Amino acid sequence: MSDEPSSHWENVYATKDAAQVSWFEETPALSLELISAAYPGHGGVIDIGGGASRLAGALVEARYAPVAVLDLSASALAVAKARLGAASNSVEWIVADVTQWRSTTRYDVWHDRAAFHFLTDPVQQQAYVEAMRSALASHGIAIIGTFAPDGPERCSGLTVARHDAASIAAIIDQDFDLANEERHEHLTPGGSVQQFQFSTFRRVG
């Protein structure tokens, strides 16, 4: 794991309550809706950059399996585990840098609500795609949420790469077909509105 990004996110969760960060959602309604629409079954889901998100618990409750959450921050994952209590045993918690990780498990759905837009280097972006290919089953679904082209240029003190469906498609290139694209306005705990873009791809190779 690369130390610098890990230290950054550990510091974020050491200095802020999980419900105070700008990306906090009381209920992951849109993610659940997109997953259900793209993959009607109850297969395996991995949440990339899920941190302290409430999505893992909602997926377990909805009987998706297996469920995994990958994040750079062990502290963020600890928050989610503590919230779930005994149900946390139904989730695989992975502390890793997605650009340096490769999966030994195949999932039906790859969900990323806001991790990919922190990768501004094309080398990092390609490493992310290779990780996605290692984890996603044949004909699996990749749901990638990023700041939209008119969304914030920075988040948590870091520069981000804003995307639409076309720019993500150009990066993941082959083996994936665009199935859906949707804009979303996220209201932060501080009351500001952030423009997001959610792009859903189906693996074809």
pLDDT tens track for 130-159:
999 999 999 999 999 999 999 999 987 889
pTM check: above 0.95:
no
pLDDT at 24: 62
- Percentage of the chain exceeding pLDDT 70: 89
Dihedral sign of CA atoms 24, 28, 30, 32 in order: positive
3-state helix, strand, coil in the chain (%, to 5): 35, 30, 35
pLDDT digits (tens, 9 = 90+) for 24-81: 687 899 999 999 999 988 899 999 999 889 999 999 999 999 999 999 999 989 999 9
Average pLDDT over all residues of the chain: 90
Pairing of strands 154-155, 67-71: unpaired
* Phi/psi at 157 (5° precision): 80, 5
Q: How far apart are CA 35 and CA 33, in angstroms?
A: 6
CATH of the structural domain 3-203, one choice from 2.30.33.40, 3.40.50.1820, 3.40.50.150, 3.40.1390.30:
3.40.50.150
pLDDT at 1: 37
pLDDT at 181 over 50: yes
Read off the pLDDT band of 2 (50, 70, 90).
very low
pLDDT at 112 over 90: yes
